[in-house]
A and B are shown apart, each in its own frame.
Chain A
């Protein structure tokens, strides 16, 4: 019984909320390489613990609050590139996305340094990574905290693409 109760504690971290964040010590990275090809065998990337469930949902809220939707749509892209595929122009690791947010990129991506706090940039980056399924499934909520009229991305089945046979062929 005790063991059962103790195993239940393992779920505690999922809903942990760090309201204050760690914005004072961390600084948005200035010289983050934008490719995954590190010279002379760079450090192995560790998953970022900041990509927790609370931060992803906050990032989701900020993503529409600050009108990322206006250019990137809900991940599909329009004026800006799509965020839900596997192509990352400036790198897809969380610190690379934060660097992109903080510094801005050519052809329209504005710099958010000084407008968003660093905690907010980390939260948006965590959400952006979740759009392409790059976060643990238990960290990503199947629904947003706000009401949405689109199908939750995590509920979509990944169906293999196969040719559709017309009914008349039978």
Chain B
């Protein structure tokens, strides 16, 4: 391969890594309070240690230049007592180096102390909102807690957070070890069956982000994502109010037929829809299913076509997932999709 070809290949490789920088899933986005602290600290460390590298390189360059220009300087003058010129220079350099280390380390120590204290203070502030996230193979159950049991509601595969408000998220697992990772907002924490973990999150910027499972948990580990929406507190309150409402009764006869199938047949054995007789607790809650951004834990976007594909044959859409293939005929499939689309 010639030089130009190699360069083109390198450019392509660099461009390929840049495609992961579109921001919805990025550790360097700094969209959460704790992330900002650590990104600031990281920049400080890079700056100070970079300065050291530059100082070392300058020193070596100057020394080499001197040796090359005046080799006789290296000898001490036999006529004069005390250290020679070269040794005095070395001493000055060592003194300067020591000073640089002292100042640099002090800056790094103070910087990390401040970042640590800021994070600790943010973590100690009382949480205004408590959320329980339960991981299942292979989807996320999200329950918004409230002092009043009437206000508790449950959703799946979507997490809405109010901007600037400290949120405590309790992490549980239903089957195997999973790991919750919203790179834009906070760190990573495992969800371990039989235990509960806590993670504090303070979102700083409005936006749509993607969290995912970061611990291999079975065949569909790669398709276990959580859509995160950060919005203003006012929008967030409006969203929670709309999610607490039970599902509206279907208006069209097709959707009513779908609801009939849903309640009487396999669907209701696993899924629940508030306001109806569907009370299954094995699969995701579908009360406001069509209002979500994606199907099957971030596997497909929420479109009519993907919905048809999913209901008709979930085992081809996401092989190995817990939803069985139903022997639906065309009329039942149309009706079910029409009903699911009313669940906004």
A115–B269 contact, CB under 8 A?
Answer: yes
Whether, in the assembled complex, A104 has its beta carbon less than 8 Å from a beta carbon of chain B, the answer is no
Write the nearest CB–CB distance from B35 to chain A, whole angstroms. Answer: 33
Given the known inter-chain contacts A115-B266, A115-B269, A117-B266, please indicate yes or no for A17 contacting B324, CB distance below 8 A.
no
Whether, in the assembled complex, B327 has its beta carbon less than 8 Å from a beta carbon of chain A, the answer is yes
B324–A117 contact, CB under 8 A?
Answer: yes
Question: Which chain B residue lies CB-closest to A147?
Answer: B193
Given the known inter-chain contacts A17-B320, A146-B175, A147-B194, please indicate yes or no for A23 contacting B327, CB distance below 8 A.
yes
For the complex, what is the distance from the CA of A17 to the CA of B282, rounded to whole Å?
21
Total number of B residues with any Cβ neighbor in A under 8 Å: 21
A117–B315 contact, CB under 8 A?
Answer: no
Specify the main secondary structure of chain B where it touches its partner: loop
Q: Out of B194, B265, B324, name the residue touching A119 (CB < 8 Å).
A: B324
A117–B175 contact, CB under 8 A?
Answer: no
Q: Out of B194, B269, B316, B324, name the residue touching A23 (CB < 8 Å).
A: B324
Whether, in the assembled complex, A66 has its beta carbon less than 8 Å from a beta carbon of chain B, the answer is yes
Whether, in the assembled complex, A20 has its beta carbon less than 8 Å from a beta carbon of chain B, the answer is yes
Using a CB-CB cutoff of 8 Å, which residues 124-170 of chain A contact chain B?
A: 145-147
Q: Out of A66, A115, A120, A145, name the residue touching B265 (CB < 8 Å).
A: A115
> Given the complex, which residues of B lie within 8 Å of A118, measured CB to CB?
327
B175–A120 contact, CB under 8 A?
Answer: no
> Given the complex, which residues of A lie within 8 Å of B269, measured CB to CB?
66, 115-116
Whether, in the assembled complex, B264 has its beta carbon less than 8 Å from a beta carbon of chain A, the answer is yes
A117–B327 contact, CB under 8 A?
Answer: yes
B327–A120 contact, CB under 8 A?
Answer: no
Write the nearest CB–CB distance from A15 to chain B, whole angstroms. Answer: 11
Whether, in the assembled complex, B62 has its beta carbon less than 8 Å from a beta carbon of chain A, the answer is no
Whether, in the assembled complex, A114 has its beta carbon less than 8 Å from a beta carbon of chain B, the answer is yes
Whether, in the assembled complex, A45 has its beta carbon less than 8 Å from a beta carbon of chain B, the answer is no
Whether, in the assembled complex, B326 has its beta carbon less than 8 Å from a beta carbon of chain A, the answer is yes
Whether, in the assembled complex, A80 has its beta carbon less than 8 Å from a beta carbon of chain B, the answer is no
Whether, in the assembled complex, A37 has its beta carbon less than 8 Å from a beta carbon of chain B, the answer is no
> Which has the most chain B C-beta neighbours within 10 Å: A19, A118, A119?
A19
Whether, in the assembled complex, A107 has its beta carbon less than 8 Å from a beta carbon of chain B, the answer is no
Report the interface size class on chain A. Answer: 10 to 19
Whether, in the assembled complex, B50 has its beta carbon less than 8 Å from a beta carbon of chain A, the answer is no
> Given the complex, which residues of B lie within 8 Å of A20, measured CB to CB?
313, 315-316, 319, 325
For the complex, what is the distance from the CA of A146 to the CA of B313, rounded to whole Å?
25
> Given the complex, which residues of A lie within 8 Å of B176, measured CB to CB?
145-146
A19–B264 contact, CB under 8 A?
Answer: no
> Given the complex, which residues of B lie within 8 Å of A65, measured CB to CB?
270, 282
A19–B320 contact, CB under 8 A?
Answer: yes
> Given the complex, which residues of A lie within 8 Å of B175, measured CB to CB?
145-147
Write the nearest CB–CB distance from B178 to chain A, whole angstroms. Answer: 13
Using a CB-CB cutoff of 8 Å, which residues 14-59 of chain A contact chain B?
A: 17, 19-21, 23-24
- Scan B291-335; emit 1 where CB is below 8 A from any A CB, else 0: 000000000000000000000010110011100111100000000
For the complex, what is the distance from the CA of A17 to the CA of B321, rounded to whole Å?
12
For the complex, what is the distance from the CA of A5 to the CA of B166, rounded to whole Å?
57
Question: Which chain A residue lies CB-closest to B313?
Answer: A20
Question: Which chain A residue lies CB-closest to B326?
Answer: A117
> Which has the most chain A C-beta neighbours within 10 Å: B313, B319, B325?
B325
A116–B325 contact, CB under 8 A?
Answer: no
Write the nearest CB–CB distance from A42 to chain B, whole angstroms. Answer: 29
Write the nearest CB–CB distance from A60 to chain B, whole angstroms. Answer: 12
Write the nearest CB–CB distance from B217 to chain A, whole angstroms. Answer: 11
For the complex, what is the distance from the CA of A116 to the CA of B315, rounded to whole Å?
16
B266–A19 contact, CB under 8 A?
Answer: no
For the complex, what is the distance from the CA of A41 to the CA of B137, rounded to whole Å?
47
For the complex, what is the distance from the CA of A19 to the CA of B319, rounded to whole Å?
6
B315–A114 contact, CB under 8 A?
Answer: no
A24–B316 contact, CB under 8 A?
Answer: no
For the complex, what is the distance from the CA of A116 to the CA of B320, rounded to whole Å?
17
Given the known inter-chain contacts A146-B175, A147-B193, please indicate yes or no for A23 contacting B325, CB distance below 8 A.
yes
Query: Shortest 9 CB-CB distances between A and B: which pairs?
Result: A20-B315, A117-B324, A19-B315, A19-B319, A147-B193, A115-B269, A19-B320, A146-B175, A65-B282
B interface, CB within 8 angstroms of A: 175-176, 193-194, 219, 264-266, 269-270, 282, 313, 315-316, 319-321, 324-327
Contacts A114-B266, A117-B325, A146-B193 supplied; 5 other A-B pairs, CB < 8 Å: A116-B269, A117-B327, A119-B324, A146-B176, A147-B194
| Pairs A–B under 8 Å by Cβ, sample size 21 | A17-B320, A19-B315, A19-B321, A20-B316, A21-B325, A23-B327, A24-B325, A65-B282, A114-B265, A114-B266, A115-B265, A116-B266, A117-B266, A117-B324, A117-B325, A119-B324, A119-B325, A145-B175, A146-B175, A146-B193, A147-B194
